[in-house]
Structure 1
């Protein structure tokens, strides 16, 4: 399959899809907590991710008032520091900041630029507004617009987050293409009537046997070629 007709806007997940979130957190942990080995750093990254996911689920289930990703990231940094036996506030701040210094995947910048030459490109992320500014600047991601789940006071895959992108585009949902490395994210977009494109990443959530997305690519470069082919 080559270019996709009838697309008005391409919407991108950012964390994991465009930037290497675990890698950036891992670098921050190794810098802030010198002396730990890679195995221990990996365990602490997993702890960070569990903490954030648990708290997002608490928000989605209505068991916790909405708290932005900046707040959840700081809580995760504090938990990681405590697990490592460190309680100095500067260490916690440094760890939290690492969660917003995330490197792009090797093809993210050039593929985004290629797609942006053909379509409006919009980032749609669970990251807070302030976090998205820092993440996009550090990674060199140039958006036509970036939308935060903070404006919906929820987290993907809640329908209200995808509604932000649909309302912003002022188009019918089936004229928006959602790009993500996480099948759970694409299922949420699909439920809102959006078209979907899965991009394989080392840290993503691959499609299951019952998933059927409009496009699937092994890289963002491949997806960009297919979307812009004439």
Structure 2
């Protein structure tokens, strides 16, 4: 019997939502500030601004802008929308860096460590390199390499990001597998010839907005979490 995923050499991981719990950490920190707003709703609003902000870069309205700076732009907007006026610039900067302090899902560190025994494991995130490095340091994430949209000067789902991973490691696209909790990301990767592994993260948006984690047969693998993926890949 063939080993599953035998042709795969590189596992490229989406990070926000797939590897780390952005919603839980941001909600807790906002609640702890005592700003009189609901931390869970604030976290959702902050994340909701992410794709529109990236779109402004992709359409050329903004020049290349790293995600740390996009997060700060979105933060200024949602502070106004939520009527928060009590934070000074240093406090806003600290709050913006909550994205650097995101905690891994409980299976993430062990799952990545197991997968690393058999594959090269790297990030493929729209987050900038400094941000991804801080997250890895904070959570003990054992990446072999940190790749970012910043390297390719293009945000996912641009083909340059997915194909860029293959180019970096000098492998064929079919020897790279994107690991992600988002079907649109995975579909774009498949369109570039990558293999895909869907990871169930039903609580990415919090308990009040549970994700549909139904399988898509187009994916190469479907896993409950990263430990399950390691089991399926024999790692």
Shift of 1:162: 1.2
| Distance in 1 between residues matched to 2:83 and 2:163, nearest whole Å | 40
* Residue among 68, 71, 74 paired with 1:70: 68
| Distance in 2 between residues matched to 1:225 and 1:53, nearest whole Å | 33
* Residue among 18, 39, 42 paired with 1:41: 39
Q: Kindly provide the CA deviation profile for residues 66-122 of structure 1, in whole angstroms up to 9, marking residues without a partner as x.
A: 211010111122223333322521221121011111000000000100000111111
Shift of 1:164: 2.0
Q: Retained in 2: the 8 A contact 1:147–1:164?
A: no
- Structure 1 spans left out of the alignment, 5+ residues: none
| Distance in 2 between residues matched to 1:75 and 1:216, nearest whole Å | 35
- Which is further off, 208-217 or 18-27? 208-217
Q: Retained in 1: the 8 A contact 2:35–2:84?
A: no
Is 1:216 the counterpart of 2:222? The answer is yes
Q: Retained in 1: the 8 A contact 2:179–2:198?
A: yes
Is 1:121 the counterpart of 2:121? The answer is yes
Shift of 1:29: 1.6
- Which is further off, 60-69 or 132-141? 60-69
1:88-127 alignment to 2 at 5 Å?
88-127=88-127
Is 1:9 the counterpart of 2:48? The answer is no
| Distance in 1 between residues matched to 2:65 and 2:58, nearest whole Å | 11
| Distance in 2 between residues matched to 1:178 and 1:22, nearest whole Å | 22
User: Structure 1 stretches (4+) deviating beyond 3 angstroms?
Assistant: 204-211
| Distance in 2 between residues matched to 1:210 and 1:35, nearest whole Å | 41
- Which is further off, 205-214 or 53-62? 205-214
Q: Which residue of 2 aligns with 1:137?
A: 137
| Distance in 2 between residues matched to 1:28 and 1:47, nearest whole Å | 15
| Distance in 2 between residues matched to 1:209 and 1:60, nearest whole Å | 30
- Structure 2 spans left out of the alignment, 5+ residues: 206-210
| Distance in 2 between residues matched to 1:3 and 1:125, nearest whole Å | 25
Q: Secondary structure at the match of 2:39?
A: helix
| Distance in 2 between residues matched to 1:80 and 1:35, nearest whole Å | 13
1:18-29 alignment to 2 at 5 Å?
18-29=19-30
Q: Which residue of 2 aligns with 1:57?
A: 55
Q: How many residues align?
A: 226
| Distance in 2 between residues matched to 1:226 and 1:2, nearest whole Å | 9
Taking only aligned residues, the RMSD between alpha carbons, in angstroms, comes to 2.1
